[in-house]
């Protein structure tokens, strides 16, 4: 297993992980550069230094401010193959004029893109359906000389900048401020406004959207923007248009600090842009040691097996659907994958992704993970819907008796009365009916703006799933690039951990004896990772850590750590660290920060 991981790391280094290009002195100004320093809450920084050591945490903080040097895409093996996708991507990149750039930066020859391996299949056994696309950076950008005058500039939000660093364009909602007299076609520099500490101890952006930049020190965040310049662009709109319209590309990025291809609307249904650790999480769920119950007191383990048709799998926090569809792919679209999320629009997103990828074994429901277990239910799933066959159609005289005027009555004549009047299988009150009429006239609320129907679930019976994946909501301190981390405090990190334990308590009840439970997060916080594993093993005697395949990540953290308030956080015990996978963003793998733990479920008391 270790030899396979070492070979995989060498392949990553050989294909992608060249030493970052040093920032040259093409631009003599120290202002127009990219060199952010990640800001942390002082107590959180102290905690992480205890956990990782000062040097390692410094490397992690630096790595978090940069995107990975490659993009990772998962091929939908039900529709295509890795070789076919690579050929299509090569043609697309050639059409976009990306051929010469990639050749010069990879090898410096005039060979074809395929020969220089700027696009490559993952070399780890079992992951050949994963394709890497090489990026590059950081690059020095020559912003030009405006004859002593300030350069025209556009300030974008932090979230927008983080997306741009990953290859996206600057869209209108992300623009915060702009220089005066910017017209369509003008060259502009793009900088970032990062949250700053306020007088009340909080963090925020003290800038009015639409502010005019004069290029002087009186501009908002003038000094704070030093080292936060992410590229040069061409304005696609005038300054007035940027703050008048609600959508569209505001500026077209021409020169970027990091050059990564955009996969927006690219080969939809055939590929899915997904982080490598996230793909590996689906594999961890897909193979396990099946536990046979010999009797009430003894257990034994059989060989590792592949997913079989008829198995039932639950993805508890499924949005945006990457892991859900990866699991369905591994199952060859057989069996049943139940995907739930508490957001209406996110469930719709999962449905759309499953349809694009041609997957029919996925069932979606709107459900809060904290209410996943339906106590006393006689059946596994109880969608909160009502069949029209059991309801009589409302008569026009019944509607008119509610006091609705003629205009609304005409609107109702075009509407399904059942959809308006039913609530949990019962007729609603007249006041509720009038409220629904107003919603029909005024449009859906913001939680339902995507449209479409989503089934609600009241939960599932205990022991009703073969496997459960809990990719828990977390502090997300492993996502990259990240330009700000000061919002998290020791208290907020502990609240995340408590929330995850409550969800884990639900997940444990849903896995049948002999099944498997996989827990994962995208954070570097040990309190949400190793500490959760310690809680699980100490609380549930029938749980045990299981080995994972493929094993690509590094070992977990052992020992404990005392928090500033005196609380001692317990982590893994010696011998357990190699049964989990921890992905360090500063390691040679160059991934996001991620954590995976896999539990075998024994006989429950």
HSE-CB for 176 with a 13 A CA cutoff: 20
Residues 552, 10: Cα–Cα separation, whole Å: 12
Residues 522, 276: Cα–Cα separation, whole Å: 12
Buried b (16+ CB within 10 A) or exposed e, 542-571: bbbbbebbbbbbeebbeeebebeeeeebeb
Kindly compute the dihedral angle of the four CA atoms of residues 282, 287, 288, 292, in this order, to the nearest 10 degrees.
130
- H/E run at residue 416: none
Q: Say if residues 545 and 537 touch (Cβ distance below 8 Å).
A: yes
Q: What are phi and psi of 437, to 5 degrees?
A: -65, -45
**Cβ atoms within 10 Å, residue 165:** 25
Q: Which tokens is 589 given? A: 């793998």
522 a catalytic residue: yes
> 3-state SS string over 228-258?
EEEEEEEECCCHHHHCCCCCCEEEEEEEECC
* Choice among 69, 106, 522, 561 that is catalytic: 522
Residues 251, 233: Cα–Cα separation, whole Å: 6
Q: Read out DSSP for 155-197?
A: EEEHHHHHHHHTT--EEGGGEEEEETT--TT-EEEEEEE--EE
Active site residues: 522
């Amino acid at each position: 297993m270790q030899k396979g991981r070492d070979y995989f790391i060498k392949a990553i280094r050989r294909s992608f992980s060249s030493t970052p290009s040093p920032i040259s002195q093409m631009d003599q100004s120290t202002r127009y550069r990219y060199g952010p320093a990640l800001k942390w809450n002082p107590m959180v920084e102290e905690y992480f230094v205890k956990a990782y050591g000062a040097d390692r945490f410094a490397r992690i903080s630096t790595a978090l401010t940069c995107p990975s040097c490659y993009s990772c895409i998962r091929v939908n093996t039900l529709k295509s193959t890795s070789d076919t996708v690579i050929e299509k991507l090569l043609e697309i990149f050639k059409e976009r004029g990306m051929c010469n750039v990639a050749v010069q930066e990879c090898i410096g020859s005039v060979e074809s893109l395929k020969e220089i391996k700027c696009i490559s299949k993952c070399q780890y056994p079992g992951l050949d359906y994963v394709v890497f696309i090489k990026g590059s950076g950081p690059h020095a950008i020559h912003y030009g000389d405006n004859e002593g005058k300030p350069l025209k500039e556009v300030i974008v939000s932090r979230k927008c900048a983080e997306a741009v660093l990953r290859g996206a364009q600057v869209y209108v909602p992300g623009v915060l401020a702009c220089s005066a007299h910017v017209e369509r076609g003008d060259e502009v520099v793009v900088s970032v406004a990062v949250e700053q500490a306020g007088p009340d101890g909080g963090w925020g952006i003290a800038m009015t959207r639409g502010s005019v930049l004069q290029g002087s020190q009186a501009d908002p965040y003038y000094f704070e923007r030093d080292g936060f310049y992410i590229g040069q662009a061409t304005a696609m709109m005038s300054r007035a248009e940027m703050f008048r319209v609600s959508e569209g590309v505001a500026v077209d990025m021409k020169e970027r600090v990091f050059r990564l291809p955009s996969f927006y609307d690219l080969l939809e249904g055939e590929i899915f842009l997904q982080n490598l650790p996230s793909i590996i999480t689906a594999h961890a769920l897909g193979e396990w040691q099946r536990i046979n119950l010999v009797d009430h007191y003894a257990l034994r383990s059989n060989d590792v097996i592949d997913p079989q048709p008829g198995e039932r799998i639950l993805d508890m926090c499924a949005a945006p659907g990457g892991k859900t569809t990866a699991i369905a792919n591994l199952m060859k679209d057989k069996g049943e994958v139940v995907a739930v999320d508490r957001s209406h629009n996110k469930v719709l997103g999962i449905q759309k992704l499953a349809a694009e990828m041609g997957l029919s074994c996925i069932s979606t429901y709107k459900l809060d993970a904290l209410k996943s277990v339906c106590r006393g239910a006689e059946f596994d799933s109880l969608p909160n819907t009502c069949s029209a066959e059991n309801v009589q159609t409302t008569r026009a005289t019944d509607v008119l008796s509610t006091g609705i005027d003629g205009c609304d009555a005409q609107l109702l004549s075009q509407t399904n009365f059942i959809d308006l009047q039913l609530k949990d299988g019962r007729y609603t009150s007249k006041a509720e009916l009038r409220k629904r009429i107003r919603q029909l006239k005024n449009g859906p609320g913001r939680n339902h703006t995507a449209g479409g129907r989503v089934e609600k679930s009241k939960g599932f019976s205990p022991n009703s799933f073969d496997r459960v994946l809990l990719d828990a909501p977390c502090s997300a301190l492993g996502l990259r690039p990240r330009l700000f981390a000061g919002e998290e405090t020791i208290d907020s990190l502990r609240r995340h951990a408590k929330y995850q334990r409550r969800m884990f308590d639900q997940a444990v009840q849903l896995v049948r004896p002999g099944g498997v439970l996989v827990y994962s997060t995208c954070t570097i916080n040990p309190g949400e990772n190793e500490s959760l594993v310690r809680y699980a093993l100490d609380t549930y005697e029938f749980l045990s850590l299981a080995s994972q395949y493929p094993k690509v990540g590094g070992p977990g953290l052992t020992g404990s750590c005392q928090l500033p308030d005196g609380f001692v956080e317990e982590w893994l015990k010696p011998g357990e660290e190699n049964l989990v996978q921890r992905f360090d963003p500063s390691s040679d793998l160059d991934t996001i920060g991620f954590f995976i733990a896999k539990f075998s479920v024994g006989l429950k008391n």
